Structure 1
Amino acid sequence: MGGNGSGTAEKRPNAQLGSWFVRSGWSKGELARQVNRRARQMGAHHISTDTSRVRRWLDGEQPREPIPRILSELFSERFGCVVGIEDLGLRSARQSPSVSGVDLPWAGPQTVTLISEFSRSDLMLARRGFLGTSLTLAAGPTLIEPMQRWLVPVPAAQAGHDAEPGQERGRRPARLSEPELDLLEQTTAMFRQWDAQCGGGLRRKAVVGQLHEVTDLLQEPQPEHIAKRLFNVAAELAELAGWMSYDIGLQPTAQKYFVLALHAAKEAGDRPLGSYILSSMSRQMIHLGRPDDALELIHLAQYGSRETATARTQAMLYAMEARAYAGMGQPSKVKRAVRMAEDTFSDTVPGEPEPDWIRFFSEAELNAENAHSYRDLAYVAGRSPTYASLAEPIMERAVELFGKDPEHQRSYALNLIGMASVHLLQREPERCAALAQRAIPFAQQVRSERVNTRLRKTVDSAVREYDGVADVIRLGDELARQLPESEAV
């Protein structure tokens, strides 16, 4: 039987776990069922928890891994914020630095080794969430302080870290041709396009496999200019693996990939790419209810790329800054950041050469981010109709533009749901139901836990608030029929 305690001597009731449990509103049986379901999803079929086992945890028994990780994930999702294992009064098994933590050495050979080990583990354990049970989701100073080292210049002694004794890197024969490198870069762009169209669940393993292959190439002798391009490819693939993991709900796994991506971007000497990776980490922190951490990451990204990023990249960073301020309930700073995002985006030059990773930040995405900032601000301000009214026309524009863009089906679905939530804030249940109804077919098409979760939360809120409105009742029934919970990615 899974979940047996590691000792029973002098047990005391676990007040921390008990507090979170009471606030969750779950029964012991419901928590046991959720633990078992999550364990099956990760492939840990030996876990079989029941109400008596949950009672023993509350009484002070310390469960074995992966139970503490599962409980941390379940409570984090329930409350929309990071609820760490220690917050639950539980202990976790110590992991080696290559598997756990984000405070990693900033040096090329170690970065390659860590990416290789992590991607190999991910591929070998290829069960949903299994790798995540060996990770801790970092937040606060534990996350921010190591990321600040991204700005520290690489010591000159490390500039030729791959060089063999007595041999200059620049004089090495190329092991990889320019056409082969071009193909690797094109493949990365193709993976990114698939993610936008189909969600993170469909091609994640392929991206991780490609990343692992690139680390193999980086472990071979390469001329410096080839190695830099390979590090750039590795950074983009690791960021994409992180984004896909985030999209399907594997939060600790996502964070680890983002951190490794930032290390690779530093080795490539690509500050704008590093700022983009930090923005992805910021999005994850916003999703997890940590807007203060999100703001720290965005400010780090802005500072690190202020002289090298294009107008489009700078506009994206301002939009993410607005999202963080919205979560913190600071309306004047939200409005300023939104205005800066709009003004900076207007400075983009049509046809200007830009990296493929920033191509997603279109006029539609600009409107979507700014609308969500006002929508989030409305929630933080106690369902303020003022901020909801600011969100409405911008969100409508985002929905209109994404509706014309077949390459970004997930974004279209997310903004339909966002528009539905705005109408819910405006106490317009019929309009909310109509937009949520339009999102259901797209939720079925894209493999995205974010889409599924946001749709369910919006519909659940509508049903709770307007259980006497016929359109809302039909929507709840339709969602249960068309997208049953067992189909969640």
Structure 2
Amino acid sequence: MLNVLNAGSRTEGQQMARAPRQRNEKLLTVIKECQWSYDACAVAVRAVAQENGETSASFDRSHVGHWIAGVTPSSRNSRFLAEAISRRLGRVVNPIDLGLRGTDSLEPDLIGLDWWEQAPATDLITVGRADLERREFGLAALYSLAALAVPLDSWQEIAERGRRAQGGVVPVGRSEIDAVRDMLTVFSRADERLGGGYARLAVVQYLTSDVAGYLQGRFSSAEDRKAMFSVAAETTYLAGWKAFDSSLHGLAQRYYVQALRLANEADDRPLAGFTLRAMAHQAVDLGHGQEALQLADAALAWSRGRATPAATALFTILTARGHAATGDKARTSAAIRAAETHLAKALPDDEPAWIRTSGFTETSLASQAGQALRDLGDLPAAETQLRRSIATRNPEAYRRIHTLTLANLADVQCGQGRLREATEHWNHAMDTMSGVTSGRASSAVKNIRTRLSSFGPRLPSFAKQLDQRATAFLRHDHPPTYT
């Protein structure tokens, strides 16, 4: 990843040497409203920066002091600051509200669009083209908690507005719908085997050209329109999932919002729930347990009465992840049991295409249950679930998630003090990573080094060899963002 933070810091450092400047009273007033010390503000900004890929971010109280004194932070650091303050105050705060001018051309793309007012195909093209044409877009897009507030009560009104906008000149029918479905199947299978970085931009290119064109076309029936918007939503979801797997969290969030819009236009509430579930998955992975729980609950609420048993199980197991992240053991266990009950009623042939494509089965449920139990600190139970997942998965068809599950199992074993077994599974995970282009897989390797470093000089030779292997992997690993 480009070291945008360091470049920004040099610019700010140069500015610090110049004088005089006008004190930024707007920023000072808002920081006081947050009831933050300069140190507390720096900690909050650093957390946002690290969440968005700046793992070496080193903000301290002096940075905050310089900003208040009138030094203008880089555009990216301004957005880190605005997002941290937005989270603290519970409302959207933009850099301009803090007395910080917009400093680059990405501002309209990142924070200037109301995703629920524009036509969905128009917004999809806006995001997709920015992703394709400007390399920095994916790096600059910030993950925002404010963007998780979807208008649940406005579903019908928003969908009706989209239907009234119909009327392009290109005729669209079943053959076009089937073509998009076939392409989605090809892309999805490759994604499961080769990771989110593989052909990510090919999916985006297909979305912004063929699919967006179909969405703006003329449909012979309302059912054809719904079918096209549904498969477009699935394809947009895949673009978001691939960005998520590539650790481009702000970009992934934008595609997820667009997938939700398209599912809404199709009046496909279960598919909307599937997207909300992905947003919950992202939120819990980033440490936002309460938000993850709210999104998982929304997935269940939005699809209630229309979701199949397997889909309901998938949404329910994400509530378990949310409950675990908030430390609620009783509700976590109850959600895991409920998900298993729902899944036992599933008939594979009756499940929607996105359940079959994602491969959600007992294997996937066990993986999510294992992670929930790990987050609760119940490591023996977590190990049982993760072993169950590994034993029942097709490792070639689902190579990426098999790799991640092996790494999770090793992490749980390490937490129980069984370093040799953990090392064996970490080595196995790295064996299966060959050919997988995934930011999450790279993060799993970084976690190996972090866990082993805690042993200090007492590290056994077999673990030292693993550490050397992980170091070599990370040295030669390149972020799979733009392939």
TM, length-normalised to structure 2: 0.80
Q: Which amino acid aligns with 2:367?
A: A
C-alpha distance in structure 2 between counterparts of 1:236 and 1:278, whole Å: 12
Residue of structure 2 in register with 1:362 after alignment: 361
Residue of structure 1 in register with 2:419 after alignment: 429
Task: Say which of 131, 138, 143 aligns to 2:144.
Answer: 138
Residue of structure 2 in register with 1:311 after alignment: 309
1:65-80 alignment, distance < 5 Å: 65-69=75-79
Task: Say which of 454, 461, 465 aligns to 2:451.
Answer: 461
Task: Say which of 380, 384, 391 aligns to 2:382.
Answer: 391
1:435 deviation in Å? 1.1
Any conservation in 1 of the 2:200–2:243 contact (CA below 8 Å)?
Answer: yes
C-alpha distance in structure 2 between counterparts of 1:488 and 1:297, whole Å: 28
Where 2:306 maps in the other structure, the secondary structure is: coil
- What is the aligned residue count? 437
Any conservation in 2 of the 1:312–1:358 contact (CA below 8 Å)?
Answer: no
| Segment drifting more, 359-368 vs 332-341 | 359-368
1:281 deviation in Å? 0.5
2:68 is equivalent to residue 62 of structure 1: no
1:452 deviation in Å? 1.0
Where 2:75 maps in the other structure, the secondary structure is: coil
Task: Say which of 190, 196, 217 aligns to 2:192.
Answer: 196
C-alpha distance in structure 2 between counterparts of 1:323 and 1:350, whole Å: 24
Any conservation in 2 of the 1:101–1:136 contact (CA below 8 Å)?
Answer: no
1:350 deviation in Å? 4.0
Residue of structure 1 in register with 2:216 after alignment: 219
Residue of structure 2 in register with 1:10 after alignment: 23
* 1:201-260 Cα deviation digits (max 9, x unpaired): 111101111111211222233333332222112211211111111111111111111011
C-alpha distance in structure 1 between counterparts of 2:434 and 2:41, whole Å: 33
Any conservation in 2 of the 1:399–1:415 contact (CA below 8 Å)?
Answer: yes
Q: 1:11 to 1:363 in 2, by over 3 A?
A: same
Task: Say which of 246, 249, 254 aligns to 1:248.
Answer: 246
C-alpha distance in structure 2 between counterparts of 1:116 and 1:23, whole Å: 33
Task: Say which of 111, 117, 120 aligns to 2:126.
Answer: 117
1:288 deviation in Å? 1.2
2:362 is equivalent to residue 345 of structure 1: no
5+ residue gaps, structure 1:
39-51, 76-83, 165-171, 379-386
* 1:27-86 Cα deviation digits (max 9, x unpaired): xxxx9xx97999xxxxxxxxxxxxx9999569762213234357899x9xxxxxxxx987
2:312 is equivalent to residue 302 of structure 1: no
5+ residue gaps, structure 2:
1-6, 85-92
Q: Which amino acid aligns with 1:279?
A: R
C-alpha distance in structure 2 between counterparts of 1:251 and 1:448, whole Å: 13
C-alpha distance in structure 1 between counterparts of 2:230 and 2:256, whole Å: 13
* 1:301-337 Cα deviation digits (max 9, x unpaired): 1011111111110111111110011100000000000
1:194 deviation in Å? 1.2
Any conservation in 1 of the 2:195–2:242 contact (CA below 8 Å)?
Answer: yes
Any conservation in 2 of the 1:102–1:259 contact (CA below 8 Å)?
Answer: no
Where 2:231 maps in the other structure, the secondary structure is: helix
Any conservation in 1 of the 2:22–2:70 contact (CA below 8 Å)?
Answer: no
1:22-61 alignment, distance < 5 Å: 61=71
Q: Which amino acid aligns with 2:374?
A: R
Residue of structure 1 in register with 2:115 after alignment: 104
1:424 deviation in Å? 1.5
Residue of structure 1 in register with 2:469 after alignment: 478
Task: Say which of 279, 284, 289 aligns to 1:281.
Answer: 279
1:8 deviation in Å? 3.0
TM, length-normalised to structure 1: 0.79
C-alpha distance in structure 1 between counterparts of 2:41 and 2:464, whole Å: 31
1:111 deviation in Å? 1.2
Q: Report the identity percentage.
A: 24
C-alpha distance in structure 2 between counterparts of 1:10 and 1:481, whole Å: 47
Where 1:210 maps in the other structure, the secondary structure is: helix
C-alpha distance in structure 2 between counterparts of 1:71 and 1:324, whole Å: 26
Residue of structure 1 in register with 2:331 after alignment: 333
1:98 deviation in Å? 5.5
Any conservation in 1 of the 2:240–2:252 contact (CA below 8 Å)?
Answer: yes
Where 1:445 maps in the other structure, the secondary structure is: coil
1:145 deviation in Å? 3.5
Q: 1:372 to 1:262 in 2, by over 3 A?
A: same
1:451 deviation in Å? 1.4
C-alpha distance in structure 2 between counterparts of 1:101 and 1:300, whole Å: 26
Where 1:484 maps in the other structure, the secondary structure is: helix
Where 1:233 maps in the other structure, the secondary structure is: helix
* 1:239-296 Cα deviation digits (max 9, x unpaired): 1111111111111111111011101101011111000000001011101111111111
Q: Which amino acid aligns with 1:217?
A: Y
Q: 1:59 to 1:417 in 2, by over 3 A?
A: farther
1:362 deviation in Å? 1.6
Q: 1:352 to 1:218 in 2, by over 3 A?
A: closer
C-alpha distance in structure 2 between counterparts of 1:390 and 1:221, whole Å: 54
